[in-house]
Every structure is written in C-alpha cells, then in structure tokens.
Structure 1
Amino acid sequence: MPFIDLAVFLLYMLAIVGFGVSFSFRKRTASDFTTGGGRLPAWAIGMSIFATFVSSISFLALPGNAFSGNWNGFVFSLSIPLAAWLAVKYFVPLYRKLKSESAYFYLEQRFGAWARIYASICYLLTQLARMGAIMYLLALPMNALLGWSIPSIIILTGISVVIYSMWGGIEAVIWTDAVQGIILIGGALACLGVIFFGMPEGPSSIFSIANEADKFSLGSFKLDFTTSTFWMILVYGLFINLQNFGIDQSYVQRYLTAKTEEEAKKSTWLGSLLYIPVSLVFFFIGTALFAYYQAQPELLPEGLAGDKVFPYFIVNQLPVGVTGLLIASIFAAGMSTVSTSINSSATVILSDHFSKYIHPNPSEKLSLRVLRLSSLIMGLLSIVVGLAFNGVSSALEAWWALSSIFSGGILGLFLLGLLSKAKNPQAVFAVILGVVVIGWMSLSAILIQKGLPETFANPLHTNMTIVMGTLTIFLVGFGLTWFTQASAKAKG
C-alpha cells in the first residue's frame, strides 16, 4: 500500500476515534449520553440521520447491486419522502411529547410491559444483524488493500468504533457522523470522477454501454410480489422506512437531541432527503463500473463480482491518495452507523430493561456504567455477527432478509396503537399471529428441505416478510377490536 494512502487512512482513523473520545472528558450524565441534553443543532442531527442511512451497506453493497443487476434497489430510496413526511407530521411530535428516551415507552403505555419488552428485543436483534453486515463490508476493501484476513479486520475496526461509542455517548456519535457524512459524499464523488475520466472513449460511453445492458432499469412494473419488481421494492422500502422513523430507537433518540420540535423536524427532512441523491450516486457508481470493465475487461480478474468489485477498483484503479480517501470514506460510512447502533442499543438496555426490572431508579454513576458496559457488549456481539457474514454472496440481500425477520412486525404493533382503539388482549393475539406468519415466511424454505410439503412454501419474496408481518398484526388487531366493540354494542 502506498505510503500516502496509508497515511491518509490512518490519520482519519486516529482523528475520528480521538475526536469521539474527546467528548468523554466533559462532565457527563446519563441524559447527556443518550440525548445530548437536547441541545444539538438541527444540521448536525440531520447529517447524523443521513450518515446512519448510508453506512457501508450503501457505500459498497449498492454499487455491487447495480454492477450485478440494475437500479431496482434504488426504488427503496423513492419510498423515503412519504415515510419522512409521516415522521414529521406524526412521529416527531409524538416522541417529543412523551419525553422518554425509549422508543418503546409508548408501546408500554398502550399495551403494557410485554409490548415494550417484545419490541426492544426485536430492535436489539435487528441492530446486531445491521452491525454485522456493516463490519463485514468494511473489511472487504482492507482485505484487498493490505491482504489482511477479513476476520482480523472486522475485529480491529469493531474495537475502534466501540472505543468512542462507549466513552463519547450520543454527542460523539452525532458529531462524528456529521464529519463522516461530509467525507463519504466527497469520497463517492471523487470516485465517480475517476471512473468518468478513465473511460477509453470518454464519459458518454458509460451511458451507451449501460443502456445496451438495461442497467438503468428500475425493475419490472408487473404487480408481482414474488420477485424483485418495482412495486415489491417500493412497498418493502415504505414499510422499512416507516419502521425506521416510527419505531427505530436510533431515529427516535435523534428527535430528542434537538433543541425544539421544529429543529427535530428540520433534521429529519435534511437527513432523509439528502440520502436520495447520494444513493443515486452509489447506484451510478455501480453502473459506471460495469461500463468501465466492459470497455476494459482485462482490468477485472475473472470471477470477481458483486460487492467485491468496488473495493477492487478502489485498490487497483484509483490514483495514489484518492485510494486512501475512499477507504476512509467507506470507514466513515460504516463507523457512523455502527456507532449509532451501539449507542441506541445501550440506551434500550438501560431504559427498557435494567432500570425497569433489575435496578429501578439507578444513580447517574450506575446508569453511565451500565450504558458503557452495554455499549461494549453490543459492540463485541456485532463483531461476532460480522464474522458470521464472511462468505455471503450479497451482503445487501442478506441484510434485507435479516432485517425483515428480526423486525418482528413491531411496526404493526406501533400502528395498531397509533391508529386504533385496540386493547391488550387484541394486541397480544395479533402479535402472536404476526410472529407465526413471520416465522413461516422466514423458515418455509428450510422446512421444505427437511421434508415439509411444497404446498406450505412461502410464495412471496423474502423482503415481503416485514410487510406481511406488519399487516397481519395491524389488520388482525384492528379487526378483533371492531368485532369486540360491535359485540358490546349489540349486547348493550
């Protein structure tokens, strides 16, 4: 690795970890660790939301997805404006009014303690899957660059993120996210520029080559939810983004870090809408790489495809210095999301479990100790999950499938509480049925291999698991509530 590239990368790593840890030298309370005392500026929170959206899943998996296929995955981004509008109109005011650092406090108010426990455990499992995917994707370019083993890189980078997340709290997370968001945008644009001017017949040839291969397609417009069509991804994206804005602890926490409700709304719009053009850039990078290697096939080793193409390009085709910047950008994307997940998971463990069932009303000192220990444990577990990701064919598809499963339909429970008059019995039955549906959709392929008849196969695309789980919980709960009220009126 050229000295300049190594220097750029190491300087970035040391600077960002040092910057994050510097927040630990201030006098801190548990509230500072989880919500920053509600005094952070809207632009920084917005950049943090954006950086959380991006992660290395976007930085590497989206170009890999576009290189291997088309722009079908970009439809996910098109669902964000509607989800953001609903967040600004309903979710932000709701959580600002509740004034609890837990996203699941609302569910306990509506349905009881079981709902809060169920949702918080689903959240923790989802974050472990997310962090594991990101850790794995972070390791790919460094493996190509330095020849280090992927497991070693996952362990080293994981520990680096844990250090500043564990000591700096939400302020360290948000401010490092803001810096990292700027770096990753710059890195992506720099890479795109190199591809453009590296085409033998000029930048315009990218469009002609890609167009011939139908690389700009958003997918089939057939109303089919068994394959990755435009409508399937759009519906999936809407449900995932509603879950992000409505019930995801890492987003809800950010609503509370803003000074006012209006500032929280501005940050939500900034973070969500900024992701759309940036994700477009990532998809275009993948398409441009396809054209680049179609025009110069001798530059790409045989058999190299998917998520590994972009890291290979970064290492072998970029000028000295730019490679270091791009590696730093990828780490910026990944570290920002992992740090967010670690901090929000620690907050969930303290507020939803420790202070409720183990040690009510803990002191500030004990609360901080629990937050830091929880950060450490979640960080170490995420490293283990990252090691388990090693070898998957597509990290993006693996992450989407796991997020659908572990989400557990908690969006359905949240919408049931928000939009209906359902009581505890109806909600319990609806969740049980929803979990059964999620379990069947997730495991039917494995059970069929074990001898279950083909008639029990899940006919829908894997990504539809969260959609069907959410709809089952909401519709069953809503229907039972209506039936109960109708029966009561008939008797009365």
Structure 2
Amino acid sequence: MKNLPILDISIIVLYLLGMILVGFYFSRTNKNSEQFTTASGKIPGWAIGASIYATFLSSNTFLGVPGKAYGGNWNAFVFSLSMPLAAWIASKSFIPFYRNTGEVSAYTNLEKRFGTWARTYAVVCFLFTQLARMGSIFFGIALSLQALTGFSMELIMLIMGVCIIFYTVLGGIEAVIWTEVVQAVVKTFGALLIFYLIIEEMPNGISNVIEIGQANDKFSLGTFKPNFVESSFWVVLLYGFFINLNNFGMDQNYVQRYHTTNSNKKATQSLWLCVWLYIPASLLFFIIGSCLFAYYQLHPELIDLLKHQVALEKLPNGTPDELKAIMATLQPVDYGDKVMPHFMVTKIPAGLMGLIVSAILSAAMSTISSGMNASATVFSVDIYQRYFKKDLNEKQHLRLLHLATVVFGLLGMGAGIAMIGVKSVLDVWWQLSGIFAAGMLGLFLLGIISKKTQNHEAILATIIGILVIIWMTFSVALPDEYAYLRNPLHKNMIIVVGTLTIFLVGILLTKFRKSNSK
C-alpha cells in the first residue's frame, strides 16, 4: 500500500471539506426548486463558462487522454477541434430556443412537437448517458487513486460519492457551478504541474520529447484519407461534432446552465468561454501523454514495473515465467490509463502529491455533481411530475430533487463499480455516449428543423434509427459465418449514422406524404 505523507493527506481532506462547506454555504438560499435547478438566473456568464469547461474537463480527460496519447497518438484531439462549429450552431439556434421557451428541461419541447413518447424516449437516453458518464468517471478516479493510496476502488468511489452527493444536495446548481469554478482552476493548475514535473525529469527537456515523439509518430491526428473503418481524422471529427452538438443542444447538463444567467448574450459568452478554455487544456493533456511516452522510452526499467503490476492483475497467482509471458504481450494501449498514476506514485515529491490528487478529484467531482443535479432535474420534471404527481408544492418538489440526486449518485457509483476491469476508460465512455446520444439528437434535429414532420413519421424514423444503432453496436459479435452482416464502420460512427438515419428518414417520410397528398 502506498502511504501518503500527512501533508498530502491534509491537503486532500481540506479540499474535500472545502467542497462540502460550499454546499453548506449555498444551502442558506437553496430553499425552492427554482433555486435548486436554475439558481434563479443569477449566475454571471463567466462563472457558467468556467463550470461548463470544468464539466468537459473530467477525469476521463485527466487520465484517459494522456493514456490515449501514450498508447497511440493525438488522433483523439480532433474531438476538441470539432467544438467551435458545434458551439456556433448552439449559440445561433439552441440557446435562443431554450431561453425563449423558458423550460428548464431540455426535453419538454419534444412532447409538444411529437407527443409523450418522444419526451420519454429522450429522457431515458439522457439518463442512461449520465449513468455511463458518471460510471466512467467514478471508475477513472478510483483507478488513479488506487495506485496512489492502495485503497480499494470500491472504497474510493464510496468516499468520493458521499462527498459529492452531500454538497450537491445541500447547495443545488449554485453550489455545483461555484465548486466547478474552483475545480476548473485546481485541475488546470494540476495539469500544468504534472507537465512541469515530467519535463524536469527529461534530459534536454521538451526538445527530447519532440524528437522521440516524431520518431514514433506520436503527434499524428490520424489518416486524412476518407477512411471510416478505422479511427481516422474524419471519423473523430464527425464523432466530435455530433457529440458536441448533442452536448450543447440536448444535454441537460448544459441546457440547464443556459437558464442560470439573465440574458442570451451571457449564456452565449459562457459557451464560447468553455470552448476557448477546453481546446488548449485538452491539448495540454495530449502533450502530457507524449511526454510520458518519451520519459519511459528513456527509462524502460520503470515501465517494466508497471507492466509487472498489470500482469499481476491479469494473473494474481502467476509464476514468474507466466508473468513474464504476459508482460511480453502487453502493448502501450493495455496500460495507457495507468501510466500517469504510475508516474505520480514514483516521481512526484511529498506535498505536491496532495495538490495533484486534489486536481484529479476536482476533475471527477465537477462532472459527477453536474450529472447528479441534471439527472435529478430531468427525473422530477419529465418523469415524476409528468406521470405521477403534477401538482407538487415547493417543499415536496425540493424533497423530490434531493432524493433523486442521492439515487442517481448511488447509481453512478454502481455503474463505476461495474466498469472495473475495462481496458480504456475513454474508449468506453466514447462508445456508450455515442450509442445513447444518437437517437435523441436525431429526433431533436428532426423536430426543430423539419417543421412539417408529423408524429407517426417521427415514430417510424426513430424506430428505424434505433434498429440501425442496435445493428451497428452488436453486429461485431456475430460469428464468422455471418461476417458479411457485421457493421463495417468504426464504432465512433454509431452516433453519426444513427443521428442521420433518424433525421433523414423522417425528412423522406414527410416528403413522401406531402407528394402523395397532392
């Protein structure tokens, strides 16, 4: 077990207590459902932008991105390059649309447009997306802190989850946003500190990183050929555009923030602040991954220690020869997510470790707390009040929001525990988010763009889209005799094809009806 010095433990404890105290502070004014979900529209735009940035910069970025860069190249950075176009569309269309409707839920309009089924379908997709997101983040943070502390991943998730639930329930969206502002600063500082410490360990500094990276093709953004079978530049660009369009246009985490300020202009400014903060920050994490690769190229004996740990996880009671055999088969992608925690355990001095761990905690806590609050809001507005009891007084509504926040926090922890053992946390999150987001984004675009599409056409288009998503997701498991039925495209194309299927089929059905009615 790794024993952290008392100074590091003190820093971590103080950070966690600080987050809880923020919850206590905002609990004084958090006395009604509007304050819990929208902070009564009193949050400044810059704080909202910082909070959205903090939500994007989760532990999946903090740990998964350096792991991807270490095990591969900068191909995944193309995701960040897709953000400006998605943000531009959101600022011109989605923000004015949501603020004009005044609906705190992103999915209420779907019922007005197509009926109850559309709203329910989008809500279910959103809630599954949130569980996948929170689960992957719980898993990522536990994976890192297990290497640093020696505690079990389950215990780490439990302690962190209780702290997050506590301040989110007490302070509502206002506590979530202001803690995320603090967390945005902490996690950015933590990333810069890690980068500095790696470069300090490198002879000749950054020039050596560039030389080794170029020799091993670590800075490639992927092939620019029109290849949609592997993770090419275009696959990640399309995936990123559709996911970010879903984030900015359909994800309750972001839509809810559009209502926490008092004007369209401030909401738009907050969105652009997030984009211009996240792009260089995500690039920094790819640079960290490349620096780690260069460092371990110069110190192969240190990476052998990590390989030995991974081999032990695969075969706990293996003989030395069996473990050596496993180590010989390991590729960088097999242990990429564990490289940064391994560097931290072996190279970061006492005192700084507490700051780094606090940064990793903040990367996880911001996204999880946001997911809990958004999930609770959607559940109370779109499910409970829609189907069970519409007329809730303020006390009942606030109690429901508190209870739902706790439940979704616990479900997120359960999803994280279920993910223990996966190879790449970033790959898992990208695949799950693409599956769940594809359907609701296609339906939303159909409703907002095609004004003449009717309910039955939207239902049929959605059913066809769901079937396509199911086929693209699960056909890879078909036996060899049915290989011709497998999805030939890369898994990140699921959201692209699924979204376009629902949207285009809906458009075609509408045109077919109109042509037959003439």
2:498 is the alignment partner of 1:458: no
| Correspondent of 2:475 among 420, 425, 444 | 444
- Residues 390-409 of structure 1 show CA distances to partners (whole Å, capped at 9, x for unaligned) of 11000100111111122241
156-165 or 283-292, which deviates more: 156-165
Is the contact made by 2:64 and 2:424 (CA closer than 8 Å) also made in structure 1?
A: yes
Is the contact made by 1:53 and 1:275 (CA closer than 8 Å) also made in structure 2?
A: yes
| Structure 1 residue 126: Cα displacement | 0.4
| Structure 1 residue 323: Cα displacement | 1.4
- Residues 268-317 of structure 1 show CA distances to partners (whole Å, capped at 9, x for unaligned) of 11012211000000110000000111112223325152101111112221
TM-score (norm 2): 0.92
| Structure 1 residue 460: Cα displacement | 0.8
Correspondence for 1:116? 119
| Structure 1 residue 203: Cα displacement | 2.8
In the alignment, the residues of structure 1 paired with residue 204 and residue 306 of structure 2 have an alpha-carbon distance, to the nearest angstrom, of 23
- Residues 22-69 of structure 1 show CA distances to partners (whole Å, capped at 9, x for unaligned) of 211225110000001011000110001001111100000000000000
Correspondence for 1:474? 503
In the alignment, the residues of structure 2 paired with residue 222 and residue 21 of structure 1 have an alpha-carbon distance, to the nearest angstrom, of 54
In the alignment, the residues of structure 1 paired with residue 63 and residue 191 of structure 2 have an alpha-carbon distance, to the nearest angstrom, of 10
Following superposition, which runs of at least 4 residues in structure 1 exceed 6 angstroms of deviation?
A: none
Correspondence for 1:400? 430
In the alignment, the residues of structure 1 paired with residue 88 and residue 507 of structure 2 have an alpha-carbon distance, to the nearest angstrom, of 24
In the alignment, the residues of structure 2 paired with residue 78 and residue 403 of structure 1 have an alpha-carbon distance, to the nearest angstrom, of 18
- Residues 110-162 of structure 1 show CA distances to partners (whole Å, capped at 9, x for unaligned) of 11111100001100000000000000111122211111111111122112111
Opposite residue 147 of structure 1, the aligned amino acid is G
Correspondence for 2:50? 47
In the alignment, the residues of structure 2 paired with residue 429 and residue 302 of structure 1 have an alpha-carbon distance, to the nearest angstrom, of 51
How many residue pairs align between the two structures? 487
27-36 or 129-138, which deviates more: 27-36
In the alignment, the residues of structure 2 paired with residue 429 and residue 203 of structure 1 have an alpha-carbon distance, to the nearest angstrom, of 56
Correspondence for 1:71? 74
- Residues 305-351 of structure 1 show CA distances to partners (whole Å, capped at 9, x for unaligned) of 21011111122211222211111001101000000000000000011
- Residues 360-382 of structure 1 show CA distances to partners (whole Å, capped at 9, x for unaligned) of 12110010011011001100011
Q: Identity rate of aligned residues, in percent?
A: 49
In the alignment, the residues of structure 1 paired with residue 30 and residue 269 of structure 2 have an alpha-carbon distance, to the nearest angstrom, of 29
Opposite residue 438 of structure 1, the aligned amino acid is I
2:31 is the alignment partner of 1:2: no
Opposite residue 167 of structure 1, the aligned amino acid is L
In the alignment, the residues of structure 2 paired with residue 302 and residue 244 of structure 1 have an alpha-carbon distance, to the nearest angstrom, of 36
Correspondence for 1:488? 517
2:438 is the alignment partner of 1:422: no
Structure 2 residues without counterparts, runs of 5 or longer:
311-334
Q: Report SS of the residue matched to 1:353.
A: helix
Opposite residue 129 of structure 1, the aligned amino acid is A
Opposite residue 480 of structure 1, the aligned amino acid is L
316-325 or 221-230, which deviates more: 316-325
In the alignment, the residues of structure 2 paired with residue 44 and residue 426 of structure 1 have an alpha-carbon distance, to the nearest angstrom, of 41
In the alignment, the residues of structure 2 paired with residue 74 and residue 123 of structure 1 have an alpha-carbon distance, to the nearest angstrom, of 25
| Correspondent of 2:441 among 380, 399, 411 | 411
Is the contact made by 1:141 and 1:315 (CA closer than 8 Å) also made in structure 2?
A: no
Correspondence for 2:248? 245
25-34 or 340-349, which deviates more: 25-34
Structure 1 residues without counterparts, runs of 5 or longer:
none
Is the contact made by 2:73 and 2:221 (CA closer than 8 Å) also made in structure 1?
A: yes
In the alignment, the residues of structure 2 paired with residue 373 and residue 105 of structure 1 have an alpha-carbon distance, to the nearest angstrom, of 22
Opposite residue 397 of structure 1, the aligned amino acid is D
TM-score (norm 1): 0.97
Give the direction of change, closer, same or farther, for the CA distance of 1:380–1:172 in structure 2 (3 Å limit). same
In the alignment, the residues of structure 1 paired with residue 224 and residue 24 of structure 2 have an alpha-carbon distance, to the nearest angstrom, of 49
In the alignment, the residues of structure 1 paired with residue 438 and residue 243 of structure 2 have an alpha-carbon distance, to the nearest angstrom, of 12
379-388 or 155-164, which deviates more: 155-164
In the alignment, the residues of structure 2 paired with residue 366 and residue 414 of structure 1 have an alpha-carbon distance, to the nearest angstrom, of 31
Correspondence for 1:347? 377
Q: Report SS of the residue matched to 2:491.
A: coil
Correspondence for 1:368? 398
Is the contact made by 2:141 and 2:364 (CA closer than 8 Å) also made in structure 1?
A: yes
In the alignment, the residues of structure 2 paired with residue 406 and residue 289 of structure 1 have an alpha-carbon distance, to the nearest angstrom, of 33
In the alignment, the residues of structure 1 paired with residue 102 and residue 68 of structure 2 have an alpha-carbon distance, to the nearest angstrom, of 40
